[in-house]
Each structure stands twice: as structure tokens, then as C-alpha cells.
């Protein structure tokens, strides 16, 4: 599933190319997770002013509105001139004066949604409850610690919920907890302040490194130029169950938490 680094990598790979473009047409394929919310023709003639990211959403600032794009479980966005005819997994095309933006999503859990602004109830519903950005200045370690003190659930589940800090998905939660030497099943409110400080730093480090490596391509993720990510090649625990820990040699273990697979080293990560 594309997580924050993959979305940020996508943004970086298309923002310069599409910014300033005029929308010539918008074409919808099969239904996605949520409806567009307007007739596609309403987008025609608008200019793309900038491309931002909030959590796992790409935000396209238009001259008269906002387009929110979510990659879902299997989506990727391409941007190029002269794209071939849309295939069966291509469900949204935005043709512009500078190239065509295309959403490919085999499982169709992604979405493209129009809102008049971030204050629009449609945008508030999608973005309003998201936590702070982990790579931004607002991700304060003391505030993070205070928030964790109010949570009695496992720390891995708290990270995935995205209410305190947004975008730390399954891959990167496992990796950050390993780097911070914290067992993923540890209750959040049992973590001491020094351990939370290490975790906050680990989250920043892991996500920044993932962006640097182009994200993780486990199945079909690629950036807007069709390039795969390589962070998965240096993962310490994710998807390495049964293999030797790169740090101590102990076999990596896996378990299920909230219907998601979790990976950890029983020696390096303490409850």
C-alpha cells in the first residue's frame, strides 16, 4: 500500500511538471472509492497552481478549487505527454497543457475528489482528523509523548491510526519501532519520555530515508515518471520474518495486529 513516502515521492516527481498547466479535459473510468463530486467538465479551463501533500493525500491547488487524490491500496499516478490509450486499471485522466495525469489503481480503493477549498466539508471530512506531519516542524516530541500517555493500545496501532502523527503506515511503523528498540506490542502509555524521544527521531529518520530512496516498491508502486522505489532493499525487519536480524542475528518474528502484519526482532526490541 502506498504510504507517506510513496505519496511524497509521487508529489516530488510531478509537481514541477504540472504546476502552471491548464486543464484541457478530465476523464473518469470505473468508479473509485468515492465519487469525484462534480461533473468532470467543471475542471476544464482551470489552472493547476501547485501540488501539496497532506498525510497520504495529494492536494492539487486549482484556480477555482482543490483536487484531492488518494492512492488507496494499489494506486500510482503517472504524468507524461503522449500517454497510450487508458488500460483497464486506469481510472482517471487529467489532460493538461503540459501533459496527462493518470491514476492507475488495480484494486480501485483510491479516489479523486473535488472540493471548493480545504474548508469545504468534503475536504474537512477527509483531512480534518489527521495528525501532525511527521517531517514537519509541528511534530513535537513532548506533545507526542503527552498524546501517547492517553493511549492504552499497542504503540504500533497508535501509529497506524494517524491521529497523533499522520502517515506512519505499516512498513515504516515496523521500521521506526525497530530503530527505536521498541516492541510493537508495547502499550503506548507505558513508554517513558526518553523512549518516546527516540521513537520520534526514528520516525523522522525512517521516513526521510524512504523518501530519499524513492519509497518502497513491494508490488506495483512507481513514481510519476514510472521509476520504482528501493527502500525495501534495506528494510531491517519488514517482510523479513525468519531471516536473521541485521543487528544481532536473531530470527525476525511476525505477528498480526489489527489485521496487519507486524515484524520485529525479539532481541533488539524491548517491551
How far is 60 from 49, CA to CA, in rounded Å? 7
SS3 at position 48 = strand
- CA 74 → CA 1, 142, 151, distances in Å? 6, 35, 30
List the Cα angle 243/267/198 in 5-degree steps.
110
**Where on the phi/psi map is residue 239: left (φ > 0), alpha (ψ -120 to 50), or beta?**
left
Quote the crossing angle between the two packed helices 193-212 and 141-148, to the nearest 10°: 120
Buried b (16+ CB within 10 A) or exposed e, 18-31: beebebeebeebee
Of the residues 56, 102, 108, 156, which is catalytic? 56
Active site residue 175: no
**Set 2, 5, 134, 184: catalytic member:** 2
Q: Name the active-site residue from 151, 246, 260, 266.
A: 260
- Measured CA to CA, the distance from residue 133 to residue 125 in angstroms comes to 18
Tell me, yes or no, if 271 is annotated catalytic: no
213 is catalytic: no
Question: Is there a catalytic annotation at residue 227?
Answer: no
The cell numbers describing 257, all together, are: 495486529
Cα 93 to Cα 25, 99, 193, 258, distances in angstroms: 8, 10, 48, 35
Q: Of 3, 6, 8, 133, which one is the catalytic site residue? A: 3
CA 29 → CA 38, 74, 210, distances in Å? Answer: 15, 16, 31
Q: How far apart are CA 211 and CA 226, in angstroms?
A: 15
**Residues acting as catalytic residues:** 2-3, 56, 260
Amino acid at each position: 500500500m502506498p504510504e507517506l513516502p510513496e505519496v511524497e515521492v509521487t508529489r516530488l516527481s510531478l509537481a514541477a511538471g504540472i504546476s502552471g498547466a491548464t486543464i484541457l479535459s478530465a476523464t473518469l473510468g470505473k468508479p473509485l472509492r468515492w465519487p469525484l463530486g462534480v461533473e468532470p467538465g467543471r475542471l476544464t479551463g482551470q489552472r493547476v497552481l501547485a501540488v501539496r501533500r497532506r498525510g497520504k493525500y495529494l492536494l492539487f491547488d486549482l484556480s477555482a478549487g482543490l483536487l484531492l487524490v488518494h492512492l488507496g491500496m494499489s494506486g500510482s499516478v503517472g504524468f507524461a505527454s503522449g500517454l497510450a490509450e487508458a488500460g483497464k486499471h486506469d481510472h482517471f485522466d487529467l489532460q493538461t497543457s503540459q501533459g496527462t495525469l493518470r491514476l492507475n489503481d488495480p484494486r480501485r480503493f483510491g479516489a479523486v475528489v473535488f472540493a471548493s477549498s480545504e474548508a469545504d466539508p468534503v475536504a474537512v471530512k477527509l483531512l480534518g482528523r489527521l495528525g501532525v506531519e511527521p517531517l514537519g516542524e509541528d511534530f513535537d516530541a513532548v506533545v507526542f509523548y503527552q498524546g501517547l500517555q492517553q493511549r492504552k493500545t499497542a504503540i504500533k496501532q497508535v501509529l497506524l491510526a494517524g491521529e497523533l502523527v499522520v502517515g506512519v503506515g505499516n512498513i515504516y511503523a515496523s521500521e521506526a519501532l525497530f530503530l527505536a528498540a521498541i516492541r510493537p506490542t508495547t502499550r503506548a502509555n507505558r513508554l517513558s519520555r526518553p523512549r518516546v524521544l527516540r521513537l520520534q527521531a526514528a520516525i523522522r529518520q525512517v521516513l526521510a530515508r524512504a523518501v530519499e530512496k524513492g519509497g518502497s516498491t513491494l508490488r506495483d508502486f512507481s513514481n510519476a515518471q514510472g521509476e520504482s522505489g528501493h527502500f525495501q532493499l534495506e528494510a531491517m525487519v519488514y517482510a523479513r520474518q525468519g531471516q536473521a536480524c541485521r543487528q544481532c542475528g536473531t530470527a525476525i518474528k511476525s505477528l498480526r495486529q489489527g489485521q496487519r502484519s507486524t515484524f520485529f526482532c525479539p532481541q533488539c526490541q524491548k517491551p
